[in-house]
Amino acid sequence: PRPRQKSALLAAAPTPAEHPFALTDLPHQEAEYRPYALAHLPRVKYLDYRMVDEQAVQAAKEQYQDRLQEMQEAEAAEEAAEAERQQRAERAAELAAANVGHVDAFRDEMLAEGGGDVGKLRQHASLLPLAQEFQAALNEAIDEYVATALEIGGLKREELSTFSEAFGEAKTEGTAEAQRQIAQYRHLVKRAQHDAGASGLTPSQLGAMQEANGALYEALMDMEMSQVERYGETIGAFESAYEELSKRLQETGSTFFNRARELEGAFTQKLEAAASELAEEEAAREAGSAEDEAVPEEVRTLLGDRETLTNALTQAHDTRVAQLDAREDEARAREVAALKGTIERLQADEYGRNRGAVVEIWNLVHVEHKNELLELGAPAHAEVA
């Protein structure tokens, strides 16, 4: 590589892929390239580290000290940013799994100052403490809601995990029992073959094996029907427990949204009272021909019209309550859909398992075994003929 190509090596260093290259046959570059490569040893892997002199490495690092420091700082910043992105992604996934992924958007909606004159009014210095008080109370309510939802979400995952594990073990046991039944039948067939020898099964032996095959079919189907009944009861029990947790989560959401409505209502009342006092102060200043320059003209106009002021605040409150209602309906609909989807998926899986088992049993007994017995009885029939 030429000197101007050294930056390409540096730029490629952070990538996880490794690209082999040789430093041989470069005598005209050794004086400059070797120190550069040594300085970046954390990003360069030597096949033979016995060729690397530690003093040369230290000298090379001192030579490129400023550039190395810049790289280290940039990499540290990128690692920190990536860790933060990963943490946010994990947090978002955790909240979504507990059906509270909407809380951040909801928080922003409720704490937004709003546009127009009401938004400017809320920015008035005398009204800011009310907004801060509302923000603190709302954040506390949201934190409690999220904590409870995450706890219930954890219980739901645990319930599903326990069910899946137990259900899997039950299916494994059922499969093992079916295999034992089939193995017993196979043993009968082998013994009949041994007794018959090269002449093949006699008609009586063939009939006995066909009866055994029919008995195997009945046994396997009885086992499958028993499993269907038992698995159905298991899924039903899980559904009841899982639905109870889902209802708890929905009730938690209803409690939270009711509390949020109360906080919004109380905040609006305090805001109206404070705005009324502010309007009286503004009216007194106007009467004395002294205007508060800190209050924008459009806000002074709003404060001067009590009816318009009340209507604006009421409209802002109604908008937030409508947003609350919509968010609550969305959360409830998501939870209901999630519950329904989980149960339907389990039921569909069991239905598919049952249909597959029935088809497998039929093919085993009425196709594979039947054809095998016909072949085993063929020599005897041929000799009789």
Of the candidates 92, 127, 143, which is a domain's last residue?
A: 92
Q: How far apart are CA 98 and CA 335, in angstroms?
A: 9
User: Percent of the chain, pLDDT > 70?
Assistant: 76
Predicted pLDDT of residue 313: 82
- Average pLDDT taken over every residue of the chain: 81
Of the candidates 59, 92, 125, which is a domain's last residue?
A: 92
Can you say whether the dihedral through the CA atoms of 276, 281, 282, 286 is positive or negative?
positive
Whether residues 304 and 186 share a domain: the answer is yes
Whether residues 65 and 131 share a domain: the answer is no
Whether residues 81 and 119 share a domain: the answer is no
Asked, for residue 97, whether it belongs to a domain, the answer is: no
Give me the mean pLDDT over the 350-358 stretch. 95
Predicted pLDDT of residue 37: 66
Give me the mean pLDDT over the 231-237 stretch. 93
Global confidence as pTM: 0.69
Give me the mean pLDDT over the 83-105 stretch. 85
Whether residues 65 and 113 share a domain: the answer is no
Tell me the residue range of the domain where 173 lies: 103-384
User: Percent of the chain, pLDDT > 90?
Assistant: 41
Q: What are phi and psi of 188, to 5 degrees?
A: -60, -40
Residue 163 has a CB neighbour count (10 Å cut-off) of: 18
Whether residues 354 and 269 share a domain: the answer is yes
Whether residues 12 and 59 share a domain: the answer is yes
Burial label for 208, CB within 10 Å (0-12, 13-18, 19+), is middle
pLDDT tens across 105-152, in order? 888 888 776 656 667 677 777 778 888 898 899 999 999 999 999 999
Whether residues 80 and 119 share a domain: the answer is no
Whether residues 85 and 115 share a domain: the answer is no
Of the candidates 92, 124, 158, which is a domain's last residue?
A: 92
Q: How far apart are CA 127 and CA 135, in angstroms?
A: 13
Asked, for residue 46, whether it belongs to a domain, the answer is: yes
Residue 285 neighbours by CB under 8 Å, 6+ apart: 291, 292
Does the pLDDT value for residue 317 go beyond 90? no
Higher pLDDT, 11 or 219: 219
Asked, for residue 98, whether it belongs to a domain, the answer is: no
Q: Based on the structure, what is the number of domains in the chain?
A: 2
Q: For 237-276, b where at least 16 C-beta lie within 10 A, e where not — what string?
A: ebbebbeebbebbbebbeebbebbeebbeebbebbeebbe
> Please, what is the angle between helix 297-304 and helix 306-363, to 10°?
100
Asked, for residue 134, whether it belongs to a domain, the answer is: yes
Q: Are 269 and 279 a contacting pair, CB within 8 Å?
A: no
Whether residues 113 and 27 share a domain: the answer is no
Whether residues 50 and 157 share a domain: the answer is no
Whether residues 188 and 295 share a domain: the answer is yes
Asked, for residue 60, whether it belongs to a domain, the answer is: yes
Higher pLDDT, 41 or 5: 41
